[in-house]
């Protein structure tokens, strides 16, 4: 794919309207997934090498190229182009440009569908950890504040009217309990989403001898 060619132009004739390009591109916001996309690609490349679908030399080239791209993005030196539509195509294009045909081999046994699903799951897994940390910090702050108001009373409301007196400390602690339930829900969510889609393909898997267990273990 050339610098000016869109990923879908192989099917459509003529120039794509700029409005359509802006409408379908997601690179402006999914670039935040770059480290997950690269992690998934490295795990996939290692698996392809282990299954002898690509050579060890190609695996080394791919990994080296991906590490370089990761460093460029982290340093703000990577040139994003909305014509590449999303972070997956942007990285793939940059990799092929760096190492040639070996980069194209990375697409063996993988669809953008399972690639996108994997990136999203890896991202959500990390974001849940971030939210968990923030919930814990908020709970600790509420407990400290509640300890200062064990003898102070306030009015509790229902239907916008004062209903009964409550201790401020107890009221604050009720939020600690609510947050504990949120923490548990997110913990359960993390467990349920921590399943690797790699190898599922666009619809019904692949006829290639892929090792899905290996990529899943590599990604934790």
pLDDT digit string (tens) for 190-215? 999 999 999 998 888 889 999 999 99
**Torsion (CA) 81, 87, 89, 90 in degrees, nearest 10:** 40
Determine the Cα–Cα distance for residues 87 and 74; give it in Å rounded to an integer. 14
Q: Which CATH architecture has domain 1-108?
A: Orthogonal Bundle (1.10)
More confident residue, 117 or 21: 117
Count Cα neighbours of 141 within 13 Å in the Cβ-side half-sphere. Answer: 7
DSSP state string for 126-153: HHHHHHHHHHHHHHHHHHHHHHTTSS-E
* Cα distances (Å, whole numbers) of residue 88 to 35, 39, 92: 11, 12, 6
pTM for the full predicted model: 0.85
Residue 23 pLDDT level (bands cut at 50, 70, 90): confident
| Confidence at residue 26, expressed as pLDDT on a 0 to 100 scale | 85
When the pLDDT of each residue in the chain is averaged and rounded to a whole number, the result is 91
| Confidence at residue 210, expressed as pLDDT on a 0 to 100 scale | 94
Residue 85 pLDDT level (bands cut at 50, 70, 90): confident
Average pLDDT rounded to a whole number, residues 32-54: 96
| Chain-centroid distance, C-alpha 69 | 17
Listed by start position, the domains of the chain span: 1-108, 120-193
Q: Are 101 and 51 in contact (CB under 8 A)?
A: no
CA angle, residues 124, 125, 129, in degrees to nearest 5: 105
């Amino acid at each position: 794919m050339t610098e000016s060619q869109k990923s879908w132009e192989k099917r459509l004739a003529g120039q794509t309207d700029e409005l359509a390009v802006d409408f379908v591109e997601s690179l402006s916001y999914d670039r935040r997934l770059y480290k997950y996309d690269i992690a998934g690609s490295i795990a996939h490349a290692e698996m392809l090498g282990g299954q002898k679908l690509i050579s060890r030399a190609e695996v080394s080239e791919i990994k080296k190229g991906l590490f370089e791209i990761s460093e460029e993005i982290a340093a703000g030196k990577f040139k994003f182009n909305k014509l590449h539509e999303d972070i997956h195509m942007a990285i793939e294009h940059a990799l092929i440009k760096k190492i040639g045909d070996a980069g194209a081999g990375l697409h063996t046994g993988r669809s953008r569908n399972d690639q996108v699903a994997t990136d999203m799951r890896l991202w959500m897994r990390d974001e849940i950890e971030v939210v968990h940390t923030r919930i814990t910090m908020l709970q600790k702050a509420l407990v400290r504040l509640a300890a200062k108001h064990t003898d102070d009373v306030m009015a509790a409301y229902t239907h916008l009217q004062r209903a009964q007196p409550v201790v401020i400390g107890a009221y604050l602690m009720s939020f600690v309990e609510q947050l504990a339930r949120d923490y548990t829900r997110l913990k359960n969510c993390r467990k349920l989403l921590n399943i690797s889609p790699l190898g599922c393909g666009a619809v019904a898997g692949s006829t290639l001898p892929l090792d899905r267990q290996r990529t899943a273990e590599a990604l934790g």
